[in-house]
Structure 1
Amino acid sequence: MTSAIDSVVYTLTLNFSSLQASQVGEYICGASLNDGTNTSNVTSSYSVDVQVPTPVVISSLNTTGRIFESNEIQLLCTVTITLLDVDQTVNVSWFGPNGLITMNDAKYSISTGIINSTTNESSLTFTASLSDNRTDYYCTASVGPASTVNRFELIIPSDTVTSTSTTIMFQIVPLPIISFNDVGIPVTGDSFQLVCTGTAPANVSSIATVSVQWLLNGTVFTNDTLEGVTVTNSGSMATLSFSSLIASTHERDDYTCEATLSISDVPTTKTASIMYNFLTLTNPFVFIYSSQPVFANQSYSLNCTVTIVAGDLNIAWLDGNGNELTEGNGISFNSVALSDTERGYDLTFNSLNYSDIGVYTCKASLRVDRGGVLFNGNGSANTTVSIRIPIPQVSISPGDNSPFIRGTVRTVSCSVVFTPPLPTNPNVSFTVFKDGAQVSFENSSKLIAVQTKTTGALTFQPLNFSDAGNYTCTATARDNANNPLIIPSSASDEYIATVQGIST
């Protein structure tokens, strides 16, 4: 017999040998107790739920081959689920460099589909831009029930699984390479061809094409663009043909070669251009600047400037006999590059002397070799080297200190002295003025004029009262050849002559 305080535990076990998702729901356990008098019913409920197994999520790049900017890129998110006996829903989300990607993002296109009973797939499609290169994309997925089961929502969605990241890497469409080729040498009056070639860089040379064209001042070059010039376009090469070069017409700095590189199935093309400064070759232009003449024994320079377009330049100084000067014996040279097209070559006399007087020539020789085609040009300029004669000391005086007596014969002499002395006496011309009026230096019955190299003399025979006055003598010196290679120098002196009568 069991006492009133004793209890008996009855256990009823419900075993699920293989719990299925369709078996979720509320289960009720009921018990009836009959004590002989009354029957009591007791129930208890228990909800059975199921968590969906975690899916396998993989992201991958679905675009094959070489990928370039502006190509369409497609990423796949593959979700593998565990097959249940109820319908399931797969939720996929995409993430990019800026976070969650939504259906409202115009850049991206998202589509989702069922591959088979255990595989779902979502695709993310977009056009590659430069900002996308080397960025990461990934997807996440979770699985839940498609609807209620047994009127219960007791299937717990799976955990959200994140795929590994897929790094987007693509190639940049490169710029084409442009090169010029001169066929011949551009000499005024000659024919000439200028060829522009476009090539693809090595990494795309097998799949890219390059087209080339010439432009002038931004406009596509045609046969009517410039007089005497025809254009030929042949794919990756474009040629300008000049029938006869005219510097004033054809020398321009806005010839432009434009090359465009394209790759099949790649929307983006790349264009490169380079300008060509077209200059015709001419003989070197030579200019000499000479400073003001100096006195003997001073330093003196001749500055020669040579202008060319291109080529190998040689400059030399020649004396009046055409002999090339060499450094030494008081002569030195200085060569300096003034610019890409100008070169200076100076001749300096360290101590100028009278033997240096003469004509000097700066001669420039130009040589251009282009592919075995030679151009030789020459240019020269000359100048004269002069020396200033120092101003002479001029004096005018009578032969002695005796008075000038009417009726006597007297001589007034004008002489010059050079300090320092000149190596040879130059020619000196004398001009005599009386009271400001020039006295004729011609012999007459009453006036005898005698001039030597450094002295001029006037002899009055005889003296008259009219010969009294203020006499001025001006002496001008020139070189022995009576030319201005030695710069003339002049000086003057004066003497007052008073003629007295004879006392009786």
Structure 2
Amino acid sequence: MYTCMAEFNVTGCNNTNDPSTATYDYQEDSDVFSVIVDFPPVLVTISKERDDTLYAGTPFFIKCDILLNPMVSIPVTVTNQWTRDGTNVPMGSSDATITEGLNMIDALNYNATLMFYPLDNADDSGMYTCNIEVTAPNSYMFFTNTSASANISITVYATPSPVVEINLVTMGIAEPGEEYMLNCTVTVVDRLIVSPVITWTKRSANNVISVPLVLMNISNVKSSLYLNFSSLNTSDAGLYTCEASINVSLISMVARSNDTSNLPLDSKHIMRPVYIVL
């Protein structure tokens, strides 16, 4: 606020040489003009962790970068609010969405991160906006606060079912007394936050039983489980099925090696239950 003031004094004379008979007059006036200063523009950019297809059950984040104009030389407060399709994303943790607080890199650079651990195809698709507001201290009453935003859209797809394959490790015919080994490998979507649970079952005489743990060896390769018979006997004959299940938050699914409707045939792999006939 700028104020201009003017004053004047007038001394009168009564045509005598006696100063005591002089007259005086005094007046002043002023006017006020307020200068409102706008903040220089704030640059806000938003980016995704990656640009490939996003699947439920995988981690992901969106980052917002904020750059203040170098002309800003007073202390300011920078705040941010994430929204999805116009609705505020709560600060902190909400379900599997984690909103990190604003990170100050230096006086002019800030960033904020919205994390998903993991993504959910039912709730997380949409338009995300990073809303930024810059405010001056109350003592700077003639500054106009400024705001800026940037947005980005993401689409989250349902987690593909695991692909289960059974491979014959031991070559030749299954005979009593011989060693025999099968390997079940499970392929899941990249970056899935959990490993599949793999189990073997045996069907014999219309009964389905779990294969004893003593026969199963965990492979050094992730998502692989061996079924090892050190010495076959007649009681081992039957139909063996490998099953894989994943359970992530609200996502739960099971895939079996005999579910041919979901598994493509491949001449290099056995994509069906394995019969051991002795």
TM-score normalized by structure 2?
0.62
Rounded Cα–Cα distance in structure 1 between residues aligned with 2:252 and 2:180:
26
Indicate whether 1:111 and 2:87 are aligned.
no
1:178, distance to aligned residue in structure 2 (A): 1.9
Instruction: Flag the 1:270–1:184 CA change in 2: closer, same or farther, 3 A.
Output: farther
Does the 8 Å CA contact 2:58/2:117 hold for their aligned counterparts? yes
Structure 2 stretches lacking a partner, 5+ long: 12-23, 259-272
- Is the 8 Å Cα contact of residues 200 and 209 (structure 1) preserved in structure 2? no
1:347-362 correspondence runs (5 A): none
1:244 positional shift = 3.2
Deviations 1:197-235 (A, max 9, x none): 33355986xxx9988542246654128xxxxxx935362
In the alignment, which residue of structure 2 is the partner of 1:274? 257
SS in structure 2 opposite 1:163?
strand
- Matched with 1:214 is 200
Q: Shift of residue 121 of structure 1?
A: 1.8
Partner of 1:233: 217
Equivalent in 133, 136, 148 of residue 142 of structure 1: 133
**Which residue is equivalent to 2:78?**
90
Residues 155-174 of structure 1: pairs in structure 2 closer than 5 A: 155-158=143-146, 160-165=147-152, 167=154, 172=159
Q: Deviations over 1:30-68 (max 9, x none)?
A: 112445441211111222221112200011235799986
> Could you tell me how far apart the structure 1 residues matched to 2:73 and 2:119 are?
45
Distance 1:103 1:164, change over 3 A: closer
Match of 2:66 in 1: 79
Structure 1 CA distance for aligned equivalents of residues 156 and 181 of structure 2: 37
2:118 corresponds to which of 128, 132, 135: 128
Indicate how the Cα distance of structure 1 residues 103 and 212 shifts in structure 2: closer, same or farther if over 3 A, else same. Answer: closer
Whether the 8 Å contact between 1:137 and 1:168 is mirrored in structure 2 is no
Contact 2:199 2:242 (8 Å CA) reproduced:
yes
Tell me how far 1:112 sits from its aligned partner: 0.9
What is aligned with 2:166? 179
Code of the aligned partner of 1:148: S
Q: CA 1:98 to 1:173, structure 2 compared with 1: closer, same or farther past 3 Å?
A: farther
Q: Give a deviation string over 1:3-44, Cα, whole Å, max 9, x none.
A: xxxxxxxxxxxxxxxxxxxxxxx2211112445441211111
Structure label with greater radius of gyration: 1
State, as a whole percentage, how many aligned pairs show the same letter. 16
CA shift, 1:138, in A, is 2.4
Deviation at 1:101, TM superposition (A): 1.0
Q: 2:59 and 2:188 mapped to 1: Cα distance?
A: 24
Residue 47, structure 1, aligned to residue 34, structure 2:
yes
Name the CA distance, whole Å, in 2 between partners of 1:60 and 1:185: 57
CA distance 1:259–1:122, change in 2 (3 Å): closer
Is contact 2:165–2:186 with CA below 8 Å preserved after alignment? no
Cα contact 1:180–1:194 (8 A) shared by 2: no
Counterpart CA distance in 1 for 2:44 and 2:86 is 21
Q: Distance in 2 between matches of 1:136 and 1:147?
A: 34
Q: 2:161 & 2:4 partners in 1: Cα distance?
A: 76
Residue aligning to 2:2: 27
Judge which range, 48-57 or 74-83, deviates more. 74-83
Aligned to 2:241: 256
**Is residue 101 from structure 1 mapped to residue 89 from structure 2 by the alignment?**
yes
Q: Which fold has the larger relative contact order, with Cα–Cα distance below 8 Å and residues 6 or more apart in sequence?
A: 2
May I ask how many residue pairs the two structures share in their alignment? Answer: 230
Confirm or deny: 8 A CA contact 2:80 2:132 kept in the other structure: yes
Letter matched to residue 274 of structure 1: S
Q: Name the CA distance, whole Å, in 2 between partners of 1:180 and 1:63.
A: 34
Q: Cα deviation per residue 1:340-367 (whole Å; 9 max; x = unaligned)?
A: xxxxxxxxxxxxxxxxxxxxxxxxxxxx
Determine if contact 2:119/2:156 at 8 Å carries over to the other structure: no
The alpha-carbon deviation at position 269 of structure 1 amounts to 10
1:382-413 deviation digits (Å, cap 9, x = unpaired): xxxxxxxxxxxxxxxxxxxxxxxxxxxxxxxx
Q: Deviations over 1:72-115 (max 9, x none)?
A: 43322111112433211212111225722122652323211221
Tell me which amino acid in the other structure corresponds to 2:5: G
Shift of the alpha carbon at 1:258? 2.8
3-state SS of 2:91 partner? coil
8 Å contact kept, 2:103–2:110 = yes
Following the alignment from structure 1 to structure 2, what is the Cα–Cα distance between the partners of residues 280 and 72?
45
Q: Please, what TM-score do these two structures have when normalized by structure 1?
A: 0.37
The residue number in structure 2 matching 1:406 is none
